Copies of this chain bind each other. A is one copy, B any other.
Amino acid sequence: MKPKNPPKENIHAVILAGGQGTRFWPLSRRDRPKQFLTILGRESLLQQTVKRLDGLILRRNILIVTYEKQVRAVRKQLPQLERRQILAEPAQRNTAAAIALAAHELIRTNPKAIMVVLPSDHLIGKVRAFHQAIRTACRVAATEGNSVLLGIPPSQPETGFGYLKLSPSGASPYGKDVRVVERFTEKPDLKTAKRFLASGRYAWNAGMFVWRASTFLKNLARFLPSTANALDQIDGRWGKPAGRNLLARIYPRLKKISVDYGVMEKAPRVYAIPRDLGWSDVGSWAAVYETRPKDRRGNALPASHLSLDSRGNYISLSIEGKFVATIGIEDLIVVDTPDALLICRRDRSQEVGRIVEQLKKKRRNELF
C-alpha cells in the first residue's frame, strides 16, 4: 500500500515555542528560554527550526504556539511570519493543551489540515533525512485516524528520554520505514535502557508528531475529555474577540499534561518512523559542548581567550568582546552573563536546574 503525498497546502507546521527551560541558566531566564538563545551557531534554536522547513512546508503554513508573554520575542526573531501565524497561549499548560489549541486554529480555516508538530529547541543535523521522514509521515498521517511519530535510533542507554517500542519491520502496512508503535516507556532506569538499546526494537521519542487536526481532536475527545470539552465551549467563537476572552478564562485551568502521557500512549494506530536525523534535544550545557567545534585540547572557548594547559572546557561569555584566561583547568562549564556566573563540572551540568529552584525559593526573582 503506497499512500499518495497530500497536497502541500494542507501540510501545516506547528512549532511549540512556549517552553520554559531552566537548564541553560544563567543564559536562559523566565522570559528568555532556551529556544530563543543563540547557543548553537548564530541563529537561535527557534530560528533554526523555522529555517529547517524551507522546501518542506509552505511559509504561510507555519504556526508558532507560544506563551503570550513570549509573543514579542517570537515576532522579533521571526519577522518573516505574519502576526496571525503566532498563536498565544494565555498560560503555560504543557503540550497536550498547546497542540489542542493549534488543532482548533487550523481546522477552523482548513478542515483537511495535517499538523507537523515540532519542538522549537532541538537540533537536527541531517536536514535531508528530516525532510524525507516528514514527507513519509505526512503520507501515512493523511489517512484519518493515523498518528505518526519520528523516532531516533538510540545511540546510548539514555535515562532521560521517552522510548517507543517498535513492531518488527514489515508489521506495518506502510512499508519497512514505518513501524507500528507497540508501547511507550518514559524515562526508564539504566538497566531497562540498556536492555532497550541491546534489543534493537526501540527508538527515542523525539517529540515530533504528524496527524490530521481532525484525528488529533478525536483522540483528544476520547482520551483527554476534560481538555476537549473545555475548548469545545468556544465553539463558533474561535478567532473572534469573544472566543479569545473565553479562552483566556478556560486555558489556565486546562490539565497540565504532555501530549505523550495525555493522548499518545492510549491512542490507536500510532506509527513511528525511526531515522538518524543527527538529532539532539540539547538538554544541558554538556550537550551544547558536544555540538561545538573544539581546539586540539577539546576546549570550546570564546574568540578572545588565552588558555594554558586546559582541557575539555566549555566557556560562554555573553558580554561582547570579554576576555577569558584559563590555567590548568579541566572539564568545566563556565557561563558568564552580566549579572550571574556559573562554574560547573561538565559531567554535572544537568544539575543546573537545582540552582534555579533554589533561586526561586529564595525569591531572587531578578536572577532566574
Contact = CB atoms under 8 A, between A and B. Distances in A.
Interface of A: 25-26, 306, 308, 315, 317, 319, 321-329, 332, 334, 336, 338-345, 347-349, 351-352, 354-355, 358-359, 364, 367
Contact of A355 (B327, B332, B347): B327
**How many copies make up the complex?**
2
Nearest to A349: B327
Which of A25, A315, A325, A336: most chain B Cβ within 10 A?
A: A325
Contact of A341 (B25, B317, B359): B317
Contact of A348 (B324, B328, B342, B347): B328
A324 B327 CA distance: 20
Contacts of A358: 306
Q: Which 3 A-B pairs have the closest CB atoms?
A: A328-B345, A327-B344, A323-B340
7 contacts: A308-B355, A323-B339, A323-B341, A324-B343, A328-B345, A332-B343, A334-B341
A321 B319 CA distance: 17
A319 B322 CA distance: 14
A348 B355 CA distance: 29
Given A25-B325, A325-B355, 9 more contacts: A306-B359, A308-B355, A317-B341, A322-B338, A324-B340, A327-B351, A327-B354, A328-B347, A343-B343
